[in-house]
Structure 1
Amino acid sequence: MAHDNPTLRRRTFLAAMAGLPFAATAAPDGLHDWGAAPDFRGITQWFNSPALSLDGLRGRLVLVDFWTYACINCLRTLPHVNRWAASYADAGLVVVGVHTPEFAFERAPANVQAAIKRHGVKHPVALDNDYATWKAYDNRFWPAAYLVDGRGRIRYRHFGEGDYDRTDAAIRTLLERPGRA
């Protein structure tokens, strides 16, 4: 319960102060059920992949990574995201970068493509110029990571840099589950 766990109590308080919803059901493994993950919406272009949907990825663990190439925090996180994409692909992880621009020049597909190449991004990247997927996730941060289990439920979220070991542990925990549930 939140009142018995100082970390969860602190996160609940911080989420409330930031105006974020914090309604999650705790699981015995420390992960939460944040509800059904919205599908990718309003994507204007896909890089490194044909168009994807969460229904099409059912049964796989999906890391949805909101980023933008001019954000220094995103660029410092990107090597970890790239490593997870490469290291855990054979185990069932699919990383989908959702590039949501902060500045007008980040909307140009050619600029995004050049950044993907420059930073060695090999996983699928969706161009979310109209913030449709961003809004569907009620996201407010760059970078932001959401782990979606094989049933399509958000089981883990992280905003900003850091906690890479915790994110890695959540990935491994969810990959070990039958059906990725």
Structure 2
Amino acid sequence: MLARLKIAAVAFGLAATAAFAAFASTDESARGSGALQTGAQAPNFTGIDAWLNSPPLDLKQLHGKVVLVDFWAFDCINCAHTIPHLKALDARYRDKGLVVVGVHTPEYSIERDTANLKKAIRQYGITYPVAQDNGYATWNAYGNQYWPAIYLIDQNGKLVYTHFGEGNYAQTEQKIRDLLGIHDKQG
């Protein structure tokens, strides 16, 4: 989706980065009629075809943790650009109470194959849990419309932050640090 936005911007003679910046800077919580609103109780993982790197998870068992839900697809270049940042957040804050969960929702038919997804997880070096959402059940529960999309859930299961697309890495990390009560400079 986001890659297509950039291509369309270039095709119409717009600076792709400017068009993307305008897209990413709009009020993210208000986009889409079914979009999950900040402050809402986060939906559970539903309709998951397979869990990779983890036994099945649900938000009730994650109560007391900060949960970062990342909607992605392995053939999405914008998603690929965010993975190193997600891996760094996972490594830095996992033992402090953060749980990163990748929800892989396919855009293309090749992405529906679990063997292909496992291969991509190995290639990217992803060690955090990945839920395969081929039927878009979790995607729809969140009212999501974008790859990549981050939903940050507090220790009580409430949505507190969203970001769609690449970027805002420092802002996302600061929100995680605030939720975890980390105020030192080192993390």
Please indicate the TM-score interval, normalised by the length of the shorter structure: 0.7 to 0.9
| Deviation per residue, 1:35-63 (Å, 9 max, x gap) | 10000000000000000000010000000
Contact 2:52–2:118 (8 Å) recurs in 1? yes
1:35 and 2:50 correspond: no
Quote how far apart the aligned CAs of 1:22 are.
7.9
| Deviation per residue, 1:117-172 (Å, 9 max, x gap) | 00000000000000000000000000000111110000000000011010010110
Aligned to 1:149: 154
The SS at the match of 1:70 is coil
1:11 and 2:16 correspond: no
Q: Distance in 1 between matches of 2:106 and 2:152?
A: 21
Change (3 A) 1:97 1:44: same
1:125 and 2:125 correspond: no
Unpaired runs of 5+ residues, structure 2, are 1-24, 183-187
Q: So what's the TM-score if we normalise by structure 2?
A: 0.80
Contact 1:67–1:142 (8 Å) recurs in 2? yes
Unpaired runs of 5+ residues, structure 1, are 1-9, 25-32
| Deviation per residue, 1:84-116 (Å, 9 max, x gap) | 011100110000000000000100000000000
Q: Distance in 1 between matches of 2:66 and 2:166?
A: 21
The SS at the match of 1:89 is helix
Quote how far apart the aligned CAs of 1:20 are.
4.8
Alignment of 1:152-163 (within 5 A): 152-163=157-168
Q: So what's the TM-score if we normalise by structure 1?
A: 0.82
The SS at the match of 2:121 is helix
Alignment of 1:11-160 (within 5 A): 11-12=26-27, 18-20=31-33, 33-160=38-165
Taking only aligned residues, the RMSD between alpha carbons, in angstroms, comes to: 1.9
Quote how far apart the aligned CAs of 1:19 are.
3.8
Moved over 2 A (4+): 18-24
Quote how far apart the aligned CAs of 1:34 are.
3.0
Give the helix-richer structure, 1 or 2: 2
Change (3 A) 1:86 1:23: closer
Aligned letter for 1:176?
G
Quote how far apart the aligned CAs of 1:11 are.
3.5
Contact 2:66–2:153 (8 Å) recurs in 1? yes
Q: Distance in 2 between matches of 1:23 and 1:40?
A: 14
The SS at the match of 2:99 is strand
Task: Tell me how many residue pairs correspond in the alignment.
Answer: 158
% same residue: 51
